[in-house]
Amino acid sequence: MSTLFAARDIAIQFGGIKAVDAVTFDVNEGEVFSIIGPNGAGKTTIFNLISRIYNPTSGELTFNGRNITRVPPHEIASLGIARTFQNIELFAQATLLQNLLIGRHCHVRNNLISQLCFLPSTRKAELEHREKVEDIIAFLDLQRYRDTLIANLPYGVRKVVELGRALCVEPKLLLLDEPSSGLNVEETEGMAFWIEDIKKDLGITVIMVEHDMKLVSAVSDRVMALNYGRVLALGTPHEVQTHPEVVRAYIGGEA
Amino acid sequence: MHQALKTSYRQDISLLANRSGVFWYGLLIVVMLLVPGVLGEFYVNELGGVFIFAIAGVGLMLLTGYTGLVNLGQGAFLGIGAYTNSVLMTKGVPFVITLPLSGVFAAIAGILLGIPTLRMTGFYLAIATLAFGSIVGTIFQKWTAVTGGFDGFAVPTPTILGYPIEGATGVYYMSLFVLIFVLWMSVNILRSPVGRAMVAIRDSEVSAQSMGINLSLYKTISFAISSGITGLAGALFAHYVRFLAPDSFDILLSIQFVTIIFVGGLGSLHGAIFGAMFVRLLPQLIAIVRDDLPFGIGRMPGLEPSLFGLVLVLVILFEPTGIYGRWLKLKTYFKNFPLHRRTGMRRQKTYARSERLR
Amino acid sequence: MGDVAHLLQLVINGAAGGCIYGVIALGFVLIYKATEMINFAQGDLMMLGGFVALSLIANMGLNYWLGGLLAIAIMTAFGFLLDAVLLRRVIGQPQFAVIMLTLGLGFIFRAFAGITWGYGSYTFVTPFTNKVERFGGIVIGQDSLSIVVGTVILCLVLYLFFSKTRLGIAMQAASQNQLAAYYMGIPVRTIFSLIWGISAAASTVAGILLAPSTVLDVNMGFLGFKAFAAAVLGGFGSIPGALVGGVIIGIVEQLAGYYLPAGFQEVTSNIVLLLVLILRPQGIFAETQRKKV
């Protein structure tokens, strides 16, 4: 198992607050790696650092052997990293199909003139993108919502569309930010199945931020617990969940 | 109930989805081509004006309706196109070259506006474009060596292959062809990755970036295409008015353009056409009914702008989706008749996200 | 001494004009801070306020102070009704829609003013017209002084109102967090209408102060665009910033008119605006927030 992604002493400060403080971890190819911790622990901030929305104040990020600490945010997708957002950042006034097609953007090779005149090369590429997107639609059972505006879709479906859009990027690394938040028990089970399929059938490495411990135990290979921006524990789900520091962070220690 | 079913992906991305689309749009084009032979010069002239404003409307629609970038300085680009075209023609450059060049110059101006405003959103962008438009307007007035300032600028008659394009009919056909070209290009944009990138930028810049869209690049492209199209409209506008005055490209013109895309229906190409029809034909309508209005309303000065404002207010309050939105609702009504439900078309209450945290 | 005196003269005139921009910008920022609405008709509110004062003072012969106060009261009610009847309905629509709405309102206001009062230029006599004060070599019109003094008094009144009275504090709460304000029993929608009323009142004050030195006409609302520049320069969302921004723009305009070639004065405010937006969009008193994704 080789290391696909590594964070070394990554840190970011907002004013005087250290949101992420010297966090170090590796993610192996093909595994599902979960990050857990109380609210405000810095989990989503780490995602924002990896997808380069924030600039770290120190530390290094390596992906596939390449230093990506200062890469501009719009290049992350073509490197092979895709993400979902905690509060759903879909394109609300576009259809589901268009949202997924936008996920294919990093694979677009036609130049502007070819697109303006809709030359045969663009037409051919459009049809290919459509085929790939339809595969994802089939995988996630979204056929009947294809031409519906996102604004008219229920929350549970939108969560799935977020996932689908990230999959259209054909990433090597998928960052899932609280995939089960807002979902009921059945929907969460469905999500668990999809994460398994993503790992086994599509061979994608997954880093997941989650609160739902059942989901974390069910799908993760390794877990990292954070609190106040610092790593508390790193290991198998069982090891981390029984780690005294982690227990104390969630439940509180003796007075 | 007739529902058009699509049977292939190819059909989904083609220009016209089915036979009936081909028939109706084809008929429309034939009718448009025959109009000058049937209607008098006055109507031909008015329609020519509608086409020109529709072209500029499409340009602004791509920028504001599809990319989400507010532009209150569109009048400046019309002016840049108009003056570029006319000045070059007086230097002897033939019309077939000045027309595209006007587009290019306006596109360059658009890039000049786009680049410093890349990080601006909402109100800031609106104000910046307003300031830009104002500055360009002042340049038109003060750079008398080129524009002739308030003395005005007489526009030479264009010729193509030696034949002069004269009168309302000439402007009509030129504008019609340019409009069809611009519409074709816009449809291409909207079914290509470029168009989707624009929509992505409008709806969520953060996730657009995460999907690989280079914000700066696509915002600049959008500005360039939008102003380029408006520049073309400007060149045609010069021949429509025959005589350029520097203060015609001011904030009031820009507001007319924004009204076109808003009243027409933000976020649709049809909206640009409907909006242009509305903005250009409303004054004519007022002129016709003016004398019949009770209480001497018709004779009041300032009737036109007040009606303009009134329509804007009413549209926002009662039909924010504009003319095209209402048209779609009407079509759905007839399609579903007699099973139409009012609630199916009731507008969902939207809670706009705070612009302060975009 | 002559040059310095002249410079000082320009600065003072500029500050007076700038106070007007600042007061309009203040009204504008008040509305934005509370409701996030952009009121492109702010300048036209000033115009209407000036004309109402004209009717009361010049046509009906009321005393300047009485007429002024009455005009302010009328416009406060007008602003309140404007929000309660019209603007409340568009809460939740995207910002662009609100911009279009207020642009449309601007047209209606101008047409209404033209129909009611006519399209000429008007003025009314004030206790400050045509009187001057002399300080050393400098001549200051009393109308300019009245503008500055009036602005200071207005700001003092508003400051005391917002920080000391219950209503003012409730307004601050409502503008910062609507939901929490609702929970505290604050009638948020009424408060917003009141804020529109106060904003209209402030603009009326500007109109009244401006009347002696600049004639009233239906298009004077276009000054409002300079007020936007002032609001941005001061740091959007900052009330003292709006004033400071206005004064700076007023002074820069006067200096540009004197020292730069002809024609530059008009574009000064626009160039300042663009520079601020490009180089330091937070303005002078920055109030930036960042979205958490």
Domain boundaries, chain B: 21-345
Task: Provide the number of CB pairs (under 8 Å) joining chain A to chain C.
Answer: 8
Domain A1-80+171-255 has CATH 3.40.50.1820: no
The residue of chain C nearest to residue A85, with distances taken between CA atoms, is: C293
For B83-113, the pLDDT digits (tens) are 999 999 988 888 889 999 999 999 999 999 9
Chains in touch with A (3+ beta-carbon pairs under 8 Å) read B, C
Question: Average pLDDT of A147-162?
Answer: 92
Which of A 150-189 lie inside 8 A of B, CB atoms?
Answer: 151-152, 165, 169
In chain C, where the domains are located: 24-220
How does pLDDT run across A110-139, given as a tens digit for each residue?
899 999 999 999 999 999 999 999 999 999
Q: Give the minimum alpha-carbon distance from C193 to chain B in angstroms, rounded to a whole number.
A: 18
Q: Confirm or reject contact between A98 and chain B (CB < 8 A).
A: yes
Cα–Cα dist B106/B78, whole Å = 8
Residue type, A48: N
The Cα–Cα gap between A132 and A137 comes to: 9
E strand intervals along chain B: 153-154, 159-160, 163-164, 243-244
CB contact under 8 A, B204 and A102: no
Contacts of C279 in chain B (CB under 8 A): none
Question: CB of C262 within 8 Å of any CB in chain A?
Answer: no
> What's the pTM?
0.89
- Taking only the tens place, the pLDDT of each residue in C115-157 is 888 888 888 777 777 777 777 667 777 778 888 888 888 888 8
pLDDT in tens, A1-38: 689 999 999 999 988 888 999 999 999 999 999 999 98
Percent of chain A having pLDDT more than 90? Answer: 77
CA distance C288 to chain A (A): 13
Please tell me the distance from the alpha carbon of residue C124 to that of residue B127, in angstroms, as a whole number: 33
B338 or C246: which leads in pLDDT: C246
- Could you give the CA distance from residue C116 to residue B120 in angstroms, rounded to a whole number? 40
Name the residue facing C270 among B131, B311, B320 (closest C-beta): B131
Residue of A nearest to C291 (CA): A53
C293 Cβ under 8 Å from any chain A Cβ: yes
In whole angstroms, give the CA distance from residue B187 to residue A137: 25
- Give me the residue spans of the domains in chain A: 1-80+171-255, 91-168
Please report the pLDDT score of residue B345 as a whole number.
Answer: 55
Q: What is the pLDDT of residues B215-240, one digit of tens each?
A: 999 999 999 999 999 999 999 999 99
Residue B331 has which token pair?
A: 């079509």
**What's residue B74's pLDDT?**
94
What average pLDDT does range B183-202 have in this prediction?
94
Neighbours of chain C (3+ CB pairs under 8 A): A, B
Q: What is the pLDDT of residues C243-289, one digit of tens each?
A: 889 999 999 888 888 888 777 777 888 888 888 888 888 777 765 55
- pLDDT tens digit string along B13-34? 777 666 777 888 888 889 888 8
Beta-carbon contacts of residue A135 (< 8 Å; ≥ 6 apart): none
Interchain CB distance below 8 Å, A131 and B9: yes
Q: What is the pLDDT of residue C93?
A: 77
Contact at CB, B206 and C93, closer than 8 angstroms: no
- Least Cα separation, residue A168 to chain B (angstroms): 9
CA–CA separation, B293 and C98 (whole Å): 31
Would you call A89 an interface residue with chain C, using a CB distance cutoff of 8 Å?
yes
Confidence of residue C174 (pLDDT cuts 50, 70, 90): confident
In contact, A19 and A45? CB cutoff 8 Å: yes
In chain C, residues with a C-beta closer than 8 Å to the C-beta of B138 are 263, 266-267
B209: nearest CB among A74, A116, A131:
A74
Q: Does A124 touch chain B (CB under 8 A)?
A: no
* Burial (0-12, 13-18, 19+ Cβ within 10 Å), A67: exposed
Burial B243-264 (b: 16+ CB within 10 A, else e): ebbbebbbbebbbbbbbbbbbb
Under a CB-based contact definition with an 8 Å cutoff, are residues B71 and B129 in contact? yes
> Contact, B108 vs C250, CB < 8 A?
no
Other CB atoms within 10 Å distance of the CB of residue B46: 18
Query: Do B279 and B46 touch, CB atoms closer than 8 A?
Result: no
Looking at CATH, the fold of the domain delimited by B21-345 is given as ABC transporter involved in vitamin B12 uptake, BtuC (1.10.3470)
CB contacts, 8 Å: A87 with chain C: 293
